[in-house]
Structure formats: C-alpha cells, structure tokens
Amino acid sequence: MTLPPYATTGERIWHYAFVGLCLAVLFFLIAPVLIIVPLSFNNEPYFSFTTGMLKLDPKAYSLKWYWDILDNGTTGRFEAWSWGWLGDVWEHAQWVKAFRNSIFVGFFATLIATTLGTIAALGLSSPHMPYRTAITSLLISPMIVPVIISATGAFFFLVKIGLVKTYTGLILVHAILGIPFVVITVTATLTGFDRNLIRAAESLGARWHTTFFKVIMPLIMPGMISGALFAFVTSFDEVVAVLFLADIEQRTIPRQMWSGIREQISPTILAVATILVAISIAMLTTIELLRRRAERQRGVTPA
C-alpha cells in the first residue's frame, strides 16, 4: 500500500513504523518454521546447526531422518521398497501407524463435523430461528473453552458409556472440536445467500432434499469445504484430547511427537514437523482459493 502524495511527515513515519512492526511480528511467527525445515536435513542427531551446516557442507545434510519415518519400528527382514518391506512399514513403522490413525480419525471426525455443522448453520441462518445467539454461543463454545477442560469432561462422559480408548470416542470428541469451525464458515457463506432461490425451488415443486442438493449446497460448497479443512486440521493437530482418551493403538501424529520428545529426542520429529508444515500450507492455499471463488460467485472482487 503506497501513501498518497499529500501525506504528512508524521503520517509517513507512522506508516513505515507500522509496516516494520507487522514485518517483525510476522518474522517472529515464522522464525520457528524457518529453523525447523533446515534442521530436519541435519546429518547429525542434534537439534542445532552443526559447523558443517553453517558452512553449507553437503556432507552435513542428509535425508536420513525422513527415511527414519518409514524405517522406525520395522522388523528389518525385507529389502527396501520390496512388497514385503512396504507391508512391514504399513504394519509396524511407528510414524506410519501414527499417520494412519491421524488420517482415519481426522477423516471421520471431519465428516461428522461438516454434516452437523452445516445443518446447524442452515438452521441458525433462518430468520425464524429462536434463541439464535444463545445456540450459536453454545455451538462455538469448544473454541473458547480450554481444550483440557473439554478433554476432561469428555473423559468422564465416555468412561460411563464405555468409549474411552476407542476410535469411536476419539472421533466423536474431535468432531465436537471441529464443529465450531464449520458453523462459522458456513454461516459466513450464508450471509450473502439469496433465500428467494429456495422459495423459487419450492414453488416449482422441489422437495427439501432436491432443494438442498441442487440449489443450496452448490452455493455454500466453498464454505463447507473451508470448514471441513479447518475441522480436519484441528483433528490432525489435537494432542490434549488424545492424551486423555486414546490408547497406544490410537496414537496419532501429535501424540507420537509428544512421546518422541519425552522418551527419545530424535530429529525425526523435525522431519515430521516439516511435512506437517507443507500439508498446512497446502490446506491454507486451498482455503484461500475457495474464499476467492466464493467472492466471485457473490459478485465481489477478491481481496
């Protein structure tokens, strides 16, 4: 953003000071990521830059920690990249099992959160909905309440119904934590929704399911996908609820990283963190593209 030619000296000083402050805050937030990525290629089992790395010596860099993601926990009886080795990795590699659990729990938690959150957002968008403010506050409360409190309450509840240390209980809790994101994004999409389209479909004899899938859903799809991605990231990144509710068989990536830091400090954690950063960047890029698509559909110039 450029300053107008009539800006005073004080306004120019404030503008450049504000830009510098924003850049400093941005660097403070991104600096840990900038450090983690090169350290994941360290040839030595350290969490710091070696002399060779600082001198950009090729021998100081290695992919051994990325390989350890596939090799850690395997039996070692098969040749690399053979079918037997792939099966061994799938069944016994600790990080691969954690990835499987994270994807499995995240997928079903996202499916439940997106379905329930979309239904709730549709109801809350109706002008005839009573107590909308109170219900909205209740639905987004998992975002406000500390996760440890939610996890503790979920633990005592799931104990009574026998779902502690099960995939079902873990999926339900992750779905609850993801519902607020779906409600917020879909509700934001519905603010520009023309309800006359629903009346037109009903006047032409369309049933409720036809109206939803043919009229409403195509228009709110960007909000649904954005909410689903946020819900998936929330589930994929959750560690507190997993510590309370999961058994060793339900260990997810954050839980595995937590255990790795406490039990055996290895740069493999940095390699996994780098992969997660790449996944997060891809998801955020997707969300931004969907946001711009939604704005174009509403006739708004993307910001």
What Rg do the C-alpha atoms of the chain give, in angstroms?
24
Domain count, the chain: 3
Indicate whether 255 belongs to any domain: yes
Predicted local distance difference test score (pLDDT) of residue 101: 94
Q: Are both 140 and 173 inside the same structural domain?
A: yes
Averaged pLDDT for residues 152-167: 92
User: How confident is the prediction for the chain on average, in pLDDT?
Assistant: 87
Cβ atoms of 212 and 143 within 8 Å: the answer is: no
User: What is the rounded CA–CA span in Å between residue 147 and residue 143?
Assistant: 8
The partner residues of 264 in beta bridges, in order of sequence, read none
In a shared domain, residues 66 and 26: no
What distance in Å separates the CA atoms of residue 228 and residue 99, rounded to the nearest whole number? 19
DSSP 8-state secondary structure symbol assigned to residue 42? B
For residue 130, what is the domain's CATH number? Answer: 1.10.3720.10
Together in a domain, 222 and 254? yes
**Shared-domain flag, residues 173 and 53:** no
Predicted pLDDT of residue 13: 86
145 in the same domain as 21: no
59 falls within a domain = yes
Indicate the pLDDT class of residue 198, thresholds 50, 70 and 90.
Answer: confident
Residues 14 and 141 in one domain: no
Is 137 inside any structural domain? yes
**Confidence at residue 47, expressed as pLDDT on a 0 to 100 scale:** 83
Establish if 302 belongs to a structural domain: no
| pLDDT number for residue 298 | 63
Contact 241/150 with Cβ under 8 angstroms?
A: yes
What is the spatial distance between Cα 240 and Cα 175, in angstroms, rounded to a whole number? 14
Specify if 303 maps to a domain. Answer: no
Domain residue limits at 78: 40-92
**What's this model's pTM, rounded to 2 decimal places?**
0.84
230 falls within a domain: yes
Residue 205 is assigned to a structural domain of this protein = yes
